[in-house]
A and B are shown apart, each in its own frame.
Chain A
Amino acid sequence: DAGVTQSPTHLIKTRGQQVTLRCSPISGHKSVSWYQQVLGQGPQFIFQYYEKEERGRGNFPDRFSARQFPNYSSELNVNALLLGDSALYLCASSAGGGQANTEAFFGQGTRLTVV
């Protein structure tokens, strides 16, 4: 069975540009969450979606947005990129309504570099 897949694996963007990151959860999983991991730190929660509805949002500016599609895949969009948005973006899926109470399965991440 395929695990959580994320695309692209690496991305270089210029300040002010917009970026879209994609995630496909494990088959049967309806919950997808996005995390940002800056070098040397632990992942920080950005969004959680369950059954195509936003169920949680972390402390990130409105430049960050996401959505979940009928097939439970998800996209994370970041507008007006800043140098500080450079990070590893991780997608996690779980079978239940949130990762907080069950095992979460993470993708390999998208490494975003803003120059």
Chain B
Amino acid sequence: SQQGEEDPQALSIQEGENATMNCSYKTSINNLQWYRQNSGRGLVHLILIRSNEREKHSGRLRVTLDTSKKSSSLLITASRAADTASYFCATGDTGRRALTFGSGTRLQVQP
């Protein structure tokens, strides 16, 4: 079963705009990770945020984590057509060695 849900399920924006995706999860976690997937192929790791962190940046990416609300957000600033992909959050919890993925947000960036 899925750990949580991404919101929105689909997002369409213009190049240069910011894109915000949200992720909710259900159990206690050690960390939360965001991955990108192009055209149904392999996943690419974007960023990992640990449960004791509240915000993390990597290039044009900004991730926040609110463990009290069991939620995270991914912000992509100044989006580009190449950012068009599906984005998944994945949680690592204390009881499992594997990642539990959400259902993903499909981002379309119009040139």
Contact = CB atoms under 8 A, between A and B. Distances in A.
Contacts of B78: none
Nearest to A102: B48
A41 B2 contact: yes
B88 A98 contact: no
Contacts of B102: 42
A43 B43 contact: yes
Given A42-B88, A43-B99, 20 more contacts: A4-B42, A31-B97, A35-B101, A41-B2, A42-B90, A42-B103, A56-B97, A56-B98, A90-B42, A92-B43, A98-B92, A99-B99, A100-B93, A100-B96, A102-B48, A104-B33, A104-B99, A106-B44, A106-B45, A107-B42
Interface of A: 4, 31, 33, 35, 37, 39, 41-45, 48, 50, 55-56, 58-59, 88, 90, 92, 97-109, 111
Interface of B: 1-2, 30-31, 33, 35, 40-45, 48, 88, 90, 92-93, 96-104
30 contacts: A4-B42, A31-B97, A33-B98, A33-B99, A37-B40, A41-B103, A42-B2, A42-B90, A42-B101, A44-B101, A45-B98, A48-B97, A56-B98, A88-B40, A92-B99, A98-B92, A99-B92, A99-B97, A99-B98, A100-B31, A100-B99, A101-B31, A102-B48, A105-B45, A106-B35, A106-B44, A106-B45, A109-B40, A109-B41, A109-B42
